[in-house]
Structure 1
Amino acid sequence: MPHPRWQAGSILLAVIAAILLSLVLRAKFQGAEIPPLLMLAVAAAFGTVILLGTGFLVRALREYRASQGQFRQMASNIREIFWTIDARTRRAIYVNEAYETITGRSCQSLMENPTSYEDLIHPEDRGHVLAKLEEATQTGQFDERFRILGTHGEVRWVKVHGFPVRGHSGKILRLVGTAQEITAQKQAEDQVAKNLAVAQSAWAEADALRSATLALTQDLRMDFVMDALLRSLADIVPYTCARVLVPEGGPHWLALGEKFCPEPANKPFRSPLTLIADKSPFLQRISVEQKSVLIADTNQEEGWQAFKGHKQFRSWLCVPLVASGEFLGFLSAGHTDPNRYTEEHLRRAELLAIPAAAAIQNARLYQTAQIYGSELEKRIADLKQAEAALAQAQGDRQVSEEKFQKVFRSSPIPFSITTVKEGRFLDVNGAFEHRYGYSREEVLGHTVHELRIWEDPADRVRMVTQLQKSGPIRNVITRLRTKSGEIKLTAYSADRIQFDGQSCILAVSEDLPDYDQHKAN
């Protein structure tokens, strides 16, 4: 920049030269003779002005080149891309060397094709970015984060900020700005967001499991436990239908609980789903393995179509329910969409299965205790009534036929009369027929051995021996077989009587189905 004093002197000299020139022109127009000294002064003044002007131009050009050099040196050493584009054509006018570092493309290639920077933008972001750039030519504001593609297709993130350069009329002539690579920053942000999402998911999962555990322990009734369990499962695993499948002995399985999501508006009553493993190779396999199963697409699963009640599901998972080392069944979820379940869903179901198995076991114990308690009270009352009648009849072992038949026939507890030696049936009451499935005509004249009433014949031998040595038997627990082959756990009471002139055994077999069920489970 020229010194201020030189600028003032140059202006003063130019003014003097102009004054002298005006004097010369005035004298010439008036026809007066122009002194040579004045002409010399005018020529000297103009020569000096020309020389000074040329010096100023040279100095200004030198300073401009120096400032350009400093600008380029500064632009070449910053990490961000410094760019300038024409606001009307959106053609690039200038970029620094950082363009090559960040994009992998040369500055020369951009100068040869000034709009090639558009091809750098990721296809998914290109439409949005170019629309914003078009707006910036009117508003002068551009501030975007987007992806670009490297020379080998690698994806990088950049943050671009632009501002306007306006002309004297205020019209935007150019947009200038910077582009900073933020790939590492974006990856860090994404990782933070991912970790936050994982943390939030873990918190929500823990909260759901805690709520499920509380819900499963609020009421020990089995229907309440099933409803609470399947509602809790819906909070962590999406499903169309969820079921609790439990073994019922042998190849038989039962859907102990079932829930659809969403629930149908008018839910019709229907009996629980029952399955037979022998008719479904898939169910047979998982019932043997007793492990967690995840099927992304059931169309690819061999034998799925034979799985009763599950054909409509395209995604399915199940986890075993185990409490105190005892396998109770499976907690399952099915969805009509394929590829709906992941290992994460399976893991969540496995976590829920832990408190669920304990709740089911407790519900069974509660149910058994509740039913057995009420039934036991009734049975004890009936038994006392029968024992009282039996004690009254033991006076001389000769009872009135009328009284004996009344007690014998009307008692709700199974009575039977068999010979001591052979075990041949001489009479049974209606309760005996109901419990064992035989009609009176089917048993009379046959022995307990022929009908295989005793699961272990040695039990009867021990009972007869005890009768002969110690007298009446009270509430001996033994196993007796029904006509269908079912083994029932029985409280057995007996005494010796004389009937039709023969030494016989009057037996009372108390039916304990609920206790039997509890033991079987």
Structure 2
Amino acid sequence: MPSVGPLRPKSPSNTAPGQVWRIISIVAAVVSVVLSVVVFGAKLQRLEVSPVLFLILLLAISTVIFVHGRFLLHLEGEHRQTSGALITTEHDFQQMADNIQEVFWMLDAKTKKALRVNRAYEAITGRSCESLEQDPSSYEEAIHPEDRARVLGRLEEATRTGQFDERFRVLWPNGEVRWVAVRGFPIRNEDGTISRLVGTAQDITAQKHAEEQVAKNLALAESAWSESEALRKATLALTQDLRMNVVLDVLLQCLSDLVSCECARIWLLEGETRLFVAREKLHNQQPKKKPDYPLTLNAVEVPFLQRILESQKSVLLSDTRQEADWKTFKHHDHLRSWLCIPLVASHQTLGLLSVGRSVPNSFTNEDLRRTQLLAIPAAVAIQNSRLYECASIYGSELERRVKDLHEAKRALEESEAGRKVSEDRFQRVFRSSPVPFSITTMKDGRFLDVNVAFEGRYGYTRAELIGHTVYELRIWEDPPDRMLMLAQLQKGISIRNAIARLRTKAGELKLTTYSADRIHYDGQDCVLAISEDVPLYEPQKAN
């Protein structure tokens, strides 16, 4: 099969010089014919013909022969020139057709067999031009089987409409697949009937791959945006309310929205190995705060759950029947696909998120990745909720203690007020009593207060006594007696009417009945004492 067919040359007779010689030749021929008719007519009528007329006839015939010869020579030269130009043009066009990357093709509109193609056909289809020459319909085999019916149907339409513009795959003999963009146009007969289809085919494999990559990247970007938006909303929802019930409800809804499943559960860990279902949602059912059957178990009894808790790593079971320990997981026999993610915050396992389906291979690594992303804010939310509950308990306890302190303060203030009233009463009694009263510290006997009667009996003023000790003033004649009395007071024994010798400022010894009690005064342990004269004093008895 030839490559691209030859171009149609211009007719030499259509050139301007050819038209001139053609007109001259016709005029000369007409003149010659007219003269010939005149001469032969005269001869037939036996008229005498002038020699000059014969001469003119000969000249006309000679002119016709000359002009026609020149016309033929001109045609031959013009043909030679046109043929050379056409050969050059066809060579240049063939060079162009063989070196461009697009396929030039021509099909018969009736049989749809290939008439002409260039060498680019081999580079695009992986098949030789010779194979197409041997079987002009073999180009159909190059069309990918999945696209063949559609493309041939559109080609059939193009034989009627004259328009063909398709993108499809071609299958190389070695199995390689490429994409081509093919456009076709009609060639019509004089009556307007489409006789041929011509067009181009371009390899767009790289462009198609780029488009697919862009579409893939766009899909990934949209998926990532949707995923990040969903996780953002989930994180926001999980942090809006710190109450545990609200957190668990929101988390269960986010989990069931994120992964299509028949069973979604939130497990919380009590202690080190005990798990219980805090929330559950089954297929086509409303979420449950309490499942229909108790789902509290010890992870030690379910080995693969124990492994998840210890390793803090997620698990994706494509087929639970391939897991030897699955039978130990009670109430889960109906699940064939199962996905489980530990809830970890501050390196501590708080529980598990799990989803399941009754069909094997229902979950993908993408489902696992998305659930792992949800588990991060979920674990933080659960941890914060627990801290919030602890803080609420501590806050309630603190509030109770503050209330108790306020009540104690109020009672103390009331007691202080009562004490002040009592002190005022005591001071009035203390000052106005005719009996000598004194208040001294237990530690060193320092005077803190005395009444007027005490001043009168011992001859000291109050200012002379306050701040001084009984030892400095030598009031006790027998200091050991005072030490014995202090020992009794420290034991809680009151002193009543003990006989003691006390010295006045003037040095006079007075035999005194001494009574005392231990009191707390001015922040110190003190002795409140009453000292009176002994009735009917007899010195001999005193000695």
- Structure 1 length-normalised TM: 0.64
What are the residue-to-residue correspondences of 1:420-435 with 2, within 5 Å?
Answer: none
Partner in structure 1 of residue 115 of structure 2: 93
1:373–1:40 Cα change, 3 Å? closer
Output the CA distance in 1 between the equivalents of 2:342 and 2:289: 28
What are the residue-to-residue correspondences of 1:65-104 with 2, within 5 Å?
Answer: 65-104=87-126
| Pairwise CA distance, 1:80 | 0.9
Say which SS state the counterpart of residue 355 (structure 1) adopts: helix
Output the CA distance in 1 between the equivalents of 2:312 and 2:268: 12
The alignment yields a C-alpha RMSD, in angstroms, of 3.5
Output the CA distance in 2 between the equivalents of 1:352 and 1:21: 109
Partner in structure 1 of residue 382 of structure 2: 360
CA contact (8 A) 1:208 1:235 kept: no
Given candidates 209, 229, 241, the residue that maps to 1:187 is 209
Partner in structure 2 of residue 143 of structure 1: 165
Cα offsets for 1:314-335 (capped at 9, x unmatched): 2221111112222111111112
Q: Which runs of 5+ in 2 are unaligned?
A: 1-9, 45-52, 404-543
1:134–1:195 Cα change, 3 Å? same
CA contact (8 A) 2:278 2:289 kept: no
Given candidates 169, 187, 196, the residue that maps to 1:174 is 196
| Pairwise CA distance, 1:32 | 4.8
Matched, 1:321 2:340: no
Partner in structure 1 of residue 265 of structure 2: 243
Say which SS state the counterpart of residue 119 (structure 1) adopts: helix
- Whichever residue aligns with residue 178 of structure 2, its letter is R
Given candidates 137, 143, 158, the residue that maps to 1:115 is 137
| Pairwise CA distance, 1:343 | 2.2
Say which SS state the counterpart of residue 360 (structure 2) adopts: coil
Cα offsets for 1:135-177 (capped at 9, x unmatched): 2212222222221122321111211122212222222221111
1:288–1:32 Cα change, 3 Å? farther
Matched, 1:12 2:23: yes
Given candidates 342, 365, 368, the residue that maps to 2:364 is 342
Alignment: residue pair count:
382
| Pairwise CA distance, 1:26 | 5.2
Matched, 1:293 2:315: yes
Cα offsets for 1:74-120 (capped at 9, x unmatched): 21121111111111111111111111222222212112111111111
| Pairwise CA distance, 1:269 | 7.0
Say which SS state the counterpart of residue 158 (structure 1) adopts: strand
CA contact (8 A) 1:24 1:39 kept: no
Output the CA distance in 2 between the equivalents of 1:230 and 1:32: 128
Cα offsets for 1:393-429 (capped at 9, x unmatched): xxxxxxxxxxxxxxxxxxxxxxxxxxxxxxxxxxxxx
Q: Which runs of 5+ in 1 are unaligned?
A: 382-521
Cα offsets for 1:172-225 (capped at 9, x unmatched): 221111111122222222222222222222211111111001111222232321
Output the CA distance in 2 between the equivalents of 1:313 and 1:20: 112
1:267–1:146 Cα change, 3 Å? farther
CA contact (8 A) 2:280 2:288 kept: no
Output the CA distance in 2 between the equivalents of 1:225 and 1:28: 129
Partner in structure 2 of residue 503 of structure 1: none
Partner in structure 1 of residue 332 of structure 2: 310
Cα offsets for 1:235-261 (capped at 9, x unmatched): 432222211122334754211111235
Matched, 1:124 2:135: no
Output the CA distance in 1 between the equivalents of 2:383 and 2:287: 32
CA contact (8 A) 2:189 2:195 kept: yes
Identity %: 52
Partner in structure 2 of residue 207 of structure 1: 229
Say which SS state the counterpart of residue 15 (structure 1) adopts: helix
Output the CA distance in 2 between the equivalents of 1:267 and 1:368: 22
Output the CA distance in 2 between the equivalents of 1:177 and 1:350: 55
| Pairwise CA distance, 1:276 | 4.0
Matched, 1:331 2:361: no
Partner in structure 1 of residue 285 of structure 2: 263
| Pairwise CA distance, 1:336 | 2.8
| Pairwise CA distance, 1:42 | 5.0
CA contact (8 A) 1:17 1:46 kept: no
Output the CA distance in 2 between the equivalents of 1:49 and 1:329: 108
What are the residue-to-residue correspondences of 1:214-233 with 2, within 5 Å?
Answer: 214-233=236-255
Over alpha carbons, which structure has the higher Rg? Answer: 2
1:210–1:250 Cα change, 3 Å? closer
Output the CA distance in 2 between the equivalents of 1:174 and 1:29: 57
1:167–1:266 Cα change, 3 Å? farther
| Pairwise CA distance, 1:298 | 2.2
1:231–1:44 Cα change, 3 Å? same
| Pairwise CA distance, 1:129 | 1.5
- Whichever residue aligns with residue 19 of structure 2, its letter is A
Partner in structure 2 of residue 427 of structure 1: none
Say which SS state the counterpart of residue 206 (structure 2) adopts: helix
- Whichever residue aligns with residue 245 of structure 2, its letter is D
1:292–1:28 Cα change, 3 Å? farther
1:289–1:169 Cα change, 3 Å? same
1:306–1:19 Cα change, 3 Å? farther
Output the CA distance in 1 between the equivalents of 2:110 and 2:39: 54
CA contact (8 A) 2:159 2:197 kept: yes
Output the CA distance in 1 between the equivalents of 2:65 and 2:105: 50
Partner in structure 2 of residue 273 of structure 1: 295
Given candidates 154, 166, 187, the residue that maps to 2:176 is 154
Cα offsets for 1:487-512 (capped at 9, x unmatched): xxxxxxxxxxxxxxxxxxxxxxxxxx
- Whichever residue aligns with residue 310 of structure 1, its letter is H
Output the CA distance in 1 between the equivalents of 2:287 and 2:310: 37
| Pairwise CA distance, 1:292 | 0.7
- Whichever residue aligns with residue 69 of structure 1, its letter is H
CA contact (8 A) 1:256 1:272 kept: no
| Pairwise CA distance, 1:350 | 1.4
CA contact (8 A) 2:281 2:287 kept: no
Say which SS state the counterpart of residue 178 (structure 1) adopts: strand
Say which SS state the counterpart of residue 330 (structure 2) adopts: coil
1:361–1:294 Cα change, 3 Å? same
Output the CA distance in 2 between the equivalents of 1:188 and 1:225: 45
CA contact (8 A) 1:315 1:337 kept: yes
- Whichever residue aligns with residue 11 of structure 1, its letter is R
1:134–1:9 Cα change, 3 Å? same
1:330–1:48 Cα change, 3 Å? same
Output the CA distance in 2 between the equivalents of 1:322 and 1:330: 9
- Whichever residue aligns with residue 17 of structure 2, its letter is W
Output the CA distance in 2 between the equivalents of 1:30 and 1:235: 115
Partner in structure 1 of residue 501 of structure 2: none
- Structure 2 length-normalised TM: 0.62
